[in-house]
Chain A
Amino acid sequence: MESILFWVFSIAAIGGALGMVGTLRNTVYSALWLVVSMLALACLFIMLNAQFVGLIQIMVYAGAIVVLFLFVVMLLNLTGGVMGAEEQPLLKFVGVALAVAVSLQLGSILLRIELPWPEVSPEYGTTAEIGRALYTDYLLPFEVAGVLLLAAIVAALAMAKRERG
């Protein structure tokens, strides 16, 4: 059962990614395909017993990030086609080079996996466990994240509200 679900969600994730690239003519469709891929990834995370990461994947990526993408698409009205990719061969080259680099990295990680997997407690990866780790061992990164979010707000305001002084 689990392996069937794994295949279903994996194919959905890859299919969503392919759909995203395939519908670049209409960027709104592209962004919606990205949601399909993100939701399938979230299901995979939940299957790996990482419920928190799975739900964050839905809330932040499928929710907030794709909404931002859609906003940008609609603000710029990018429905006319792929912006500039045809006229700029350098962009294509950079894209292919990045894809190759990422594939090589993923491949090297796959080759270095040591089986069997290390034993973990059944609690591992639950929201409570993440909370306990975040608020004790990783307290400083957590507070720094707060500073980072504050800086992001200030930067966004500085850019968006420039004319008001």
Chain B
Amino acid sequence: MSEYAGLGLFMALGAGTILLLLVLTSVLGPRLRFAEKDEPFECGESPLVSPYRRFPVKFYMVAISFIIFDLEVVFLYPWAVVFRDLGWYGLLVAAPFLSMLSIALAYEWMKGALEWD
């Protein structure tokens, strides 16, 4: 566990900084409230509509592709770690996996799933 002490310190410092800033602003800052101040700030423009709107369904294909290629990468992390130990054998056994995913990418590209419209 002790090898994570640095990480723990880092996170504690980060959280501590945020907490300190929040406490300091609430203690030291003046409290002036008016209607305009409670509006969400959007580059100085008054917000016209609620931010809860439907996203374009085109994002769906992006999300699905992201998940699948993310999972592919998950299998490649342990591969990368032991790549030198495995040598040519490692390249040989990963080739079918990688080529299948390349076929998937090529198919997606051909079908136009990577296009926005």
Contacts and interface: CB of A to CB of B under 8 A. Distances in A.
Contact of B70 (A47, A60, A164): A60
A52 interface: yes
Binding site of A, secondary structure by majority: helix, strand, loop or mixed?
Answer: helix
Interface residues of B, number: 44
For the complex of A and B, the 3 pairs showing the least CB-CB separation, nearest first, are: A131-B78, A131-B82, A146-B97
Contacts of B29: none
B19 interface: no
Nearest to B86: A135
Interface stretch (B20-28, B30-38, B41-49, B98-106): B98-106
Contacts of B116: none
Given A68-B66, A145-B97, A149-B100, 5 more contacts: A59-B70, A64-B66, A68-B64, A131-B78, A153-B104
Contact of B63 (A1, A71, A139, A143): A71
A74 B52 CA distance: 8
Interface string A128-165: 10111011000100110111011011101100110010
Interface in B60-92: 60-61, 63-68, 70-72, 74-75, 77-82, 85-86, 89-90
B107 interface: yes
12 contacts: A60-B70, A71-B59, A127-B77, A130-B78, A131-B78, A131-B79, A135-B86, A135-B93, A142-B97, A146-B75, A150-B103, A161-B113
Contacts of A150: 100-101, 103-104
A156 B82 contact: no
Contact of B107 (A5, A47, A139, A154): A154
